[in-house]
Structure 1
């Protein structure tokens, strides 16, 4: 479960102490429990597949549960940075956004997000003005970062070929992590952002792009009967946005002084540690599939 405030602060102090060291060389080994990570990954993919193809609304339920855990992890992380997110309105609104998107489309998602932000504002205003702006901003950030972006997956799911669209999106995004990890471990030499993620290399990024393009082409042609070039465009875009999502979460974690959002997923960390890339690639996947492979 989440680390204590003391352990978070000590980790942050260690980060600062090593800030002046030269971390440009990328380690050849990745720092994770690979067997546990693979086992958990297989279980998660099986859960996604089962929820997609047995009963479409089940996937929306799975996403909602994941959003709930991810919001809790993010709220705890922000609390370590002395941001007290208004918990009740943030969680209640966040848990409703994915169902609102699935049932009400883009209008339902936008309306739910607006009402959620209003609820956060009013709830926090009642508690007094000291630190209110900071806490309100934290609540809006949590709503926008997790449930709003996750709600876009429900827009894809609601299409007639929704399960196939979700599968394309998930497969291409996962291939970014797998390709980047494999190539980075074997050939990574030039660090991409050593102050944020020392193990992320330019060689690994090239592996992400290549694997995303290959999986994008195959999945779009086979699952959606779309043009091969749409898979190339989707693959390149997903690789870029997945990398940005990973670095963005690394920035957040270093800023508040934690290593992982939690330890709920062995070999992976927290739910947010797995959703970081997926959340960033949802908007671009939804937009590109809607544009190039209309339902």
Structure 2
């Protein structure tokens, strides 16, 4: 509505004024799209090669990814004033990777406990007090979020049809990202969590559900012979969990005052920016398969 009454500053403007509600603004691409596509295809090629062409390389790939992600997270936590010791964390990641491959679930549990103990001893030998407690808590967070959850990809890989199960766990987050990005750019106008991630929209989430669930259900039912209802339920849950993982990392980055966890992957940010959803999708896939298909 335009106020046409005169004012002390001069005559009022009577021309048409158009306004667009905040909720109707659609997100733009927001990234270097050609670089993002090229890097995404390269990552997909590396993953598929490790899964199907040379399976012994997959644990090495997982270990490298977790080491890079831990380094990114320790640097990011440094912006929040935490001094998380990187050396015991990296040793813990390697130990948890090897133990999971060799001893399966028991190896993961024992190596995680040992890694936490080593982290505590390492940090308290430097200093004591509240700062040491905060640093240890940050280190345990790194171990649990990245190394412990990430090792579930190795547990999936160790099962029958392990390569396909890992691919199943990855398809959910990939479908979530691709479907959400395309529909968000084209139709997004209702923010899902504007205070956490302004670019996420409910329209994008609908696209995530459509593409992510379809991809997981197709692979699960047509290739892995899962019951259709199990495949569909798994797809829906993986999309929801992937979205929660994205929002959780966005909230952490907002609290730390950083845009990306790293800059290693053009168009994507850091390694952790790329695998944050998979870190939740892998254990979710493992647990749901254990519960639904005992």
**Same fold per superposition (TM over 0.5):** yes
Secondary structure of residue in 1 paired with 2:151: helix
Q: Which runs of 5 or more structure 2 residues have no equivalent in the other structure?
A: 1-20
Asked if the contact 1:25–1:191 (Cα under 8 Å) also holds between the matched residues in 2, the reply is no
Asked if the contact 2:82–2:138 (Cα under 8 Å) also holds between the matched residues in 1, the reply is yes
Give the CA deviation at 1:95.
2.2
Segments ≥4 residues shifted beyond 6 Å: none
Deviations 1:235-288 (A, max 9, x none): 110111101100111111111111011111000000000011111111111112
Deviations 1:218-248 (A, max 9, x none): 1012221111111111111011110110011
C-alpha distance in structure 2 between counterparts of 1:289 and 1:50, whole Å: 25
Asked if the contact 2:26–2:184 (Cα under 8 Å) also holds between the matched residues in 1, the reply is no
Pick the structure with greater CA Rg: 2
Higher relative contact order (CA 8 A, sep 6+): 1
1:278-289 alignment runs, 5 A limit: 278-289=278-289
In the alignment of these two chains, the number of paired residues is 273
The residue that corresponds to 1:55 in the other structure is 54
Asked if the contact 1:109–1:151 (Cα under 8 Å) also holds between the matched residues in 2, the reply is yes
Give the CA deviation at 1:291.
3.3
Give the CA deviation at 1:57.
2.4
C-alpha distance in structure 2 between counterparts of 1:286 and 1:266, whole Å: 31
Asked if the contact 2:73–2:142 (Cα under 8 Å) also holds between the matched residues in 1, the reply is yes
Q: Which moved more, 1:115-124 or 1:208-217?
A: 208-217
Asked if the contact 1:97–1:148 (Cα under 8 Å) also holds between the matched residues in 2, the reply is yes
Secondary structure of residue in 2 paired with 1:200: strand
Deviations 1:57-81 (A, max 9, x none): 2111101101010000000000111
C-alpha distance in structure 2 between counterparts of 1:159 and 1:139, whole Å: 30
Give the CA deviation at 1:39.
0.5
The residue that corresponds to 1:43 in the other structure is 42
1:160-179 alignment runs, 5 A limit: 160-179=160-179
Asked if the contact 1:99–1:154 (Cα under 8 Å) also holds between the matched residues in 2, the reply is no
The residue that corresponds to 1:83 in the other structure is 82
Q: TM-score scaled to structure 2, two decimals?
A: 0.89
Taking structure 1 as reference, are residues 57 and 291 closer, same or farther at Cα in structure 2, changes over 3 Å only? farther
Taking structure 1 as reference, are residues 65 and 258 closer, same or farther at Cα in structure 2, changes over 3 Å only? same
The residue that corresponds to 1:262 in the other structure is 262
Asked if the contact 1:24–1:194 (Cα under 8 Å) also holds between the matched residues in 2, the reply is no
Q: TM-score scaled to structure 1, two decimals?
A: 0.89
